[in-house]
């Protein structure tokens, strides 16, 4: 018996509920197929880290096609979240402590349009080095660093 483990999710071959010939994909209990499980392995690891208290807030970029599965998992785990569409293909998923997600909800959803203050707040909430965030903030305020695609 072969068991697949993805950050606390055991997917046992015996629990397969459906086998699909297309794309050589197998769907397991809960509607998770191998491709989805592979694509969402970082997301699942972040959920594990949050539940273990390693981080208070997580930001991960995932494929938009998995939005419903991501929402379902976070709601099942009773984890606060906010999801922003990036480009039609991807989504930014913020999740973690209610207080942190409440702050994220006040920020501009477009990361490339953040003010220096929004950029600083986000970095601090995500656990980035405080001194480096202060240096980055001052570089943005002084015009030495641009936020967005062409900058920091």
* DSSP H or E stretch at residue 39: helix 34-39
Q: Averaged over 3-16, what is the pLDDT?
A: 45
The per-residue pLDDT for range 90-115, each reduced to its tens digit, is 999 999 999 999 999 999 999 999 99
Express each pLDDT in 115-126 by its tens digit: 999 999 999 999
Q: For residues 115-124, b (16+ Cβ closer than 10 Å) or e, as one string?
A: ebebbbbbbb
Task: Quickly state the pLDDT bin for 148 (edges 50, 70, 90).
Answer: confident
Residues 6+ apart with CB under 8 A from 21: none
Predicted pLDDT of residue 62:
97
Whole-number Å distance between alpha carbons of 4 and 148: 38
Q: Name the band, by pLDDT with cuts 50, 70 and 90, for residue 150.
A: low
What distance in Å separates the CA atoms of residue 71 and residue 117, rounded to the nearest whole number?
A: 28
Q: Using CA atoms, how far apart are residues 84 and 21, in angstroms rounded to an integer?
A: 33
Tell me: pLDDT of 28 over 80: no
Query: What is the Cβ-side half-sphere exposure of residue 45, based on CA atoms within 13 angstroms?
Result: 7
Give the three-class secondary structure for 113: helix
Q: pLDDT, tens digit, for every residue of 35-89?
A: 988 999 999 999 999 999 999 999 999 999 999 999 999 999 999 999 999 998 9
| Domains of the chain listed by start with CATH number | 1-38 (no CATH), 40-97 (3.30.2190.10), 107-152 (no CATH)
Task: Tell me the C-alpha distance between 139 and 59, whole Å.
Answer: 23
Contact status, residue 61 vs residue 91, Cβ threshold 8 Å = yes
- Whole-model pTM over 0.85: no
Q: Are 84 and 109 in contact (CB under 8 A)?
A: yes
pLDDT at 21: 39
């Amino acid at each position: 018996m072969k068991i697949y483990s993805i950050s606390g999710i055991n997917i046992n071959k015996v629990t397969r509920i459906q086998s699909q010939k297309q794309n050589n994909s197998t769907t397991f209990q809960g509607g998770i197929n191998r491709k989805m499980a592979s694509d969402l392995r970082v997301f699942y690891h972040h959920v594990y880290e949050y539940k273990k208290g390693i981080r208070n807030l997580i930001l991960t970029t995932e494929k938009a096609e998995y939005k419903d599965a991501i929402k379902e998992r976070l709601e099942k785990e009773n984890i606060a979240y906010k999801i922003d569409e990036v480009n039609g293909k991807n989504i930014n998923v913020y999740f973690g402590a209610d207080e942190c997600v409440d702050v994220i909800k006040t920020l501009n959803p477009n990361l490339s349009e953040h003010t220096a203050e929004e950029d600083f707040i986000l970095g601090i909430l995500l656990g980035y080095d405080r001194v480096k965030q202060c240096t980055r903030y001052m570089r943005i305020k002084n015009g030495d660093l641009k936020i967005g695609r062409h900058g920091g």
